[in-house]
A and B are shown apart, each in its own frame.
Chain A
């Protein structure tokens, strides 16, 4: 028994060391540049794949050479990433770095798929590292010992470099007060590339040694990035000590849980992170840091005047209302199915915009509420009532209630920590979905039917046929109208709220929270309310999806979903309400078109998204205003639409 635990500890320590190397880079990058690097996991995977390619021609003995060369290559890629994508965004809100690196995840991950085969591959290790040795009476595998010793040496040398060299001194000073370092005449910006490259190289080392321990697969980056964030956040963003302590802690806890309490694996580390953040909002070893300002760039819709805008809106709704009528004649009925998905995601994106674009709360875990709505509907239909109204009602109420709780706990921390804690809650929920019986485990819940009515009186959509002259509206088409009504209703509701005193306080919080406080507003309370509204609408979106599709799966709450919905909001233009709707449409439209050409559509989408974040952060809806000067120059004053509307935002 004791031997078993010791064996577990060695395994835990091995994983822990990998986490330490991963988290150290993440943490230092954040500490110095305030960049949350989501792509860190992909750099980690890239390290393993480069090593694989380097070792392949020579066999296991080339492992040590690869351990040196692959991180170097990844480091160079890291420098390039910093130089060409991250650098243009300094000075903007840290949110944009999260978005940018999320786009990089999509791109790098698809590149890995494109170049290497999907599936698990073994990374050959040299013979010298195989077998077992006795360490203080314990029969440990040589590779484990190698990982622990080598990893510890790496971590130590990085620590020594940070602590005892001039280079390290400047980095540490920069993480304390960047402006001060600049004032001393040191060009700290030059060091940024190096720090980023160094972090990337460390991630690559971690990827290689984990690859040799387990296997190499394209998903390996995705699976480590969230635990790595948990480590960095609970250790304290920017703290090297925190990364080391957190990494070992999480590695050991995870390994022990896997053996002794598998039901808790995947949930405990998130509970740990949330708990620590609530007690110590800066993490275990975190220090007060300068708050990063930089405004959120909201979309400005300013080329249309009020009346035109109204007519454009009505025309859009009119066209949308006609869409199902042409299905089966002008285009396939699949179009309606796709349109429903777009409407549901548009509603989801709209709900996120309400907190992100108007209140400045960047929720990285909004899929939590979408998933919650979906599962609430599924469980209600299976166990409570088959009425769609009851199920949707429950979905909204439950999502709102959970949003209140999550909001209550999360809004105490701000900025990046808020983003991370919401991510933590979402991942907690995601992992619970897998393990609970009522949610159907990894398969989810499916085969759910419903009727539209209450207390047993009502009708299923499949049983209805509406005959309108030459066209017949049935099941899917009717649901399309329900989804459309939900979207329009939510749009009007949120717009109304944003024009009320409540809404104007939300906007003031986004613009300048400190000032709002000193106007006498309890900003926390307002943010929490906004979060509840948003959570309820996201729940409605998820609920609608399940109502129509008849299933709910854990993937609904996966962090990539949270990321995708942010992509839609930014793509369209946040802080406009209609921008996210445009964004969702374009997102699915692109996916639809691109999947026709390549299964690696995320590569193209990710690239487009990257370009948006860098060059058009206000989204598609700002494009007309951007292009206006170019157009009016040619067409003369006659074509110039309402010039003094340029200050108008989408929220008029």
Chain B
């Protein structure tokens, strides 16, 4: 089965081996953007987004207990669980499911890869829900081991169901980091706005929003909305972050290299 494991840099080989003893997360993330809910989700600290918030996540399979929180919380649906404990040529794969319909255990569904191509059919062994009003479902399907690492989703026919799902109730999100790079919370920004701050630059000096790795590329529009809500008709005066080179992070070695 080792031939299936191609992306060793993402710790897949280790995950593949660890999966013999039970469920373990596999990270299929290629987005170098300021995003780290997976790190926050993991109760065991098995996922690290380092050295900065735009880095790719790294998983320590030894520390992963296969709880699946990261699978539910990854906004890019780039994490799945692999479980090979049956050791009979079949593996259990847990993928997030955010389409309509109400999946139920025992159903046979089409298992698809990242491009939506059907791989095989598989039986849903378990349905879990995580989140509040619109939960992300975690579907565990049984598939032949040789396709296990390719599974990214299931294709499901709409089934009407009488009984409601058991939903794990997560508290509503009142606060979250509005600037992920510098870990500045929404409430901190709102408090600063209440003190009379009316421009993006002043907000930055006071809270460090937009001073991190992405330089405000990702948080600027959310911050504008917060400013507009606080400043009302004065919003046009809010200005913008002063754009200074480099446009994208550049290695010092390159900036100061002989050919620079």
Partners in one complex: no
Binding site for A on B (CB under 8 A): none
